[in-house]
Each structure stands twice: as structure tokens, then as C-alpha cells.
Amino acid sequence: MDRVILVEVHSGQIQGFFGPRVPVDNLEANLVALNYFVEQKKIPLRNIVVISPDAGGVSRAKNFQALLASVGVKDLTLAMIIKQRKQAGEIGSMHMVGNVQGKQAIIIDDIIDTGGTLIEATKVLKKFGALNVSCFATHGLFSGKALENISKS
């Protein structure tokens, strides 16, 4: 193997598992999200808050925020949800950091597995006054009843 190319690696430390002679590239999917929201005009491009659903995704959300700003989106802010788990696959609590009141929220995430984080994050955002919530995730695993649960939420 002489090169590894990853798409939206979940943890940057993974790049360190390859030997020093194997370059590792991590491709971000933010340009796909930008196309979806901006060029496809999926939501009005004003009064937007970009959301990281956990502390580990803040840089991904900031990068997407910068892309939106680069194409002229105004009234653009960033917020984060602090998620604490009881155990693997079970959310204990979620807390909002930032202001979403009266804004269009766009959650930027790398993985949707069971949909639990997405569903609970949406509830938190709506509770704190987000007008609507959209989501972009790179890897949709949709384990178990994830699609059904998301569509019911």
C-alpha cells in the first residue's frame, strides 16, 4: 500500500495507524453539503446556525460555516451540542452551547448510525427555538430502525 484516502474520517488519530511512509489523505464532504444547501436551494440562505452535534465535530462544523460564508451567506453563526453518554449507544444528556433562537439550524455530522443523536439533537434545537432543522451526514449507516425512527421524529 502506498497511499490511503479516507472520506470524513471519524477520528483524526486513525491517520496515525499507517506507517510513516504511507501518506493518508482525509477528504471532507463539506463541498457536497454546500452544493446541496446552496446550489440546490434547499433552505433560504439567511439566518443560519451551523450545528456540531458533539464536541468532536466542531472543526467539521466550523469548516462548513466558512464555506457558507465564502459563498456570501449572511447572518451565519455556530453552535454545539454537548453530548454525554450513559454507555455506548445510549445518550445520557445533551446541552446547547450557542444561540439557535429564530434560526435555521443545519447539523453537520460524519455518521448517522441508529439516528439517536440526530433525533435528540433536533429535539434540543427545537426546544431552544430553532425555526427548522436540516442535517447533512457523510456516512449513513442507518442501523436497525434508524430510518423509521428518524422519519417519525
Q: Is the residue at 11 inside a domain?
A: no
For 56, the domain range is: 29-152
Q: Is the residue at 109 inside a domain?
A: yes
Per residue in 113-130, pLDDT (tens digit) is: 999 999 999 999 999 999
Q: Is the residue at 12 inside a domain?
A: no
Per residue in 48-102, pLDDT (tens digit) is: 999 999 888 999 999 999 999 999 898 999 999 998 877 776 777 889 999 999 9
Global pTM exceeds 0.85: yes
Q: Is the residue at 57 inside a domain?
A: yes
Where residue 69 sits, what CATH number does that domain have? 3.40.50.2020
Catalogue the active-site residues: 83
Do 105 and 125 form a contact (C-beta atoms < 8 A)? yes
Q: How many domains would you assign to the chain?
A: 1
